[in-house]
A = this chain, B = another copy of it.
Amino acid sequence: MKRTPLKEIKGGITAPQGFLASGVHAGIKKQAAPDLALLVSVKEGPIAGVFTTNRVVAAPVVLDRAHLRGKVGRAIIVNSGNANACTGARGLADARETARLLASRLGVATRQVFVGSTGVIGHPLPMARIRAGIPAVVTRLRRGGGSEAARAIMTTDLAVKEVAVTARIAGHRITVGGMAKGSGMIHPDMATMLAYLTTDAAIAQPTLQRALKAAVDPSFNSISVDGDTSTNDTVLCLANGLAGNPLLTAGSRELAAFQELLDHVCHSLALKICRDGEGVTKVVRILVAGARTQAEAKQVAKTIATSSLVKTALFGEDANWGRVMAAIGRSGVPIAPQKLGLAFEGIPIVKQGVGLGPAAERRIDRVVRRKAFTITVDLGQGSQQAWLWTTDLSYDYVKINASYRS
């Protein structure tokens, strides 16, 4: 198989062939910012989805799960400014009406339309504004509209998050694009995090679903900004087959090459979410090695990654490794304190459970001033490992979240 290396290109979700997008201000947000985004493929195709594990689930997630049973997608419409969560039967009716109105406008089947919402929980969707916004957002649909759509799904996000990557796979140029929003409520197993991926690859739906799941675990499911998961998390990937490649089949080298594209887009968007986390000044990788099982490694990593004491120390550029040790100890995993090792960016600070003293501390003092670094824990109990990306906890995090609704 001949393959060109991965190459990032412009265009986001509209980078692959045959995708149009747009964004408008429909008046759902109080401020004059875009709040209604639309993505349409010129051709229907297989769609794959991964959703929140939160048991309190927003109406659009209920609708999308139902539509996903049809396995075919054509359009995705997303509003920001209102999560349509905890809105009961009315909320579900509103999500359904949104899908129906858009389907009718586009002349496609309602079940090929997917809906996303993000914003405040518990307020009914302003349907008059959605109804008026749909013709407007359809009219603006265009080939280069990816960034406009990516902007319209933002809430407290500071930066537009989009990426696209392309490669020639066995003679066919295949492209994967993506956009995401999310900066608060970010936590493993997804959190107010919406990500929409597009590809022109020809691929069957079950293969696409497996590939998406594989890409989401080490990316969107491995970041933690504040330990909260949301009611609305959704990752959807829509494929239209316009690349003209033979169907990507399970176990093939072509599928592996496509997986690399998908992994790259998910990893890139997940890191963009971390960097754009509410009030974030640092992104730190917590790597836990030497565990008996991957689940134990992940549990320890999660406890460290969500510790307010660890996160405020990161913000203060304080090499307070004792807080990392305390987090390891309360993780619930039966660790052996006398076997613990700890290093910052490869510089050891704890061996066999004991601190290595002032000289080592001075060396890690320099590491914690960086914008990004890795904290490595060695449990000394086995060969399994896991990692999470976390962020610091700053004044601005408190400021943004104390005043979000007011």
Contact = CB atoms under 8 A, between A and B. Distances in A.
A184 interface: yes
A325 B355 contact: no
A86 B354 contact: yes
Given A122-B321, A307-B228, A88 B329 contact: no
Contact of A85 (B122, B306, B322): B322
A99 B393 CA distance: 39
Contact of A122 (B325, B337, B399): B325
Given A85-B325, A121-B322, A313 B402 contact: yes
B121 A325 contact: yes
SS of A interface (majority): loop
B56 A326 contact: yes
A397 B312 CA distance: 9
B402 A325 contact: no
A307 B227 contact: yes
Given A54-B330, A56-B325, A56-B335, 5 more contacts: A54-B329, A56-B328, A122-B350, A122-B355, A228-B309
Interface of A: 53-57, 83, 85-90, 120-123, 184-185, 187, 189, 226-231, 306-309, 312-313, 315-316, 318, 320-323, 325-330, 334-335, 337, 340, 350, 352-355, 393-395, 397-399, 401-406
5 contacts: A86-B354, A123-B355, A308-B401, A312-B401, A312-B402
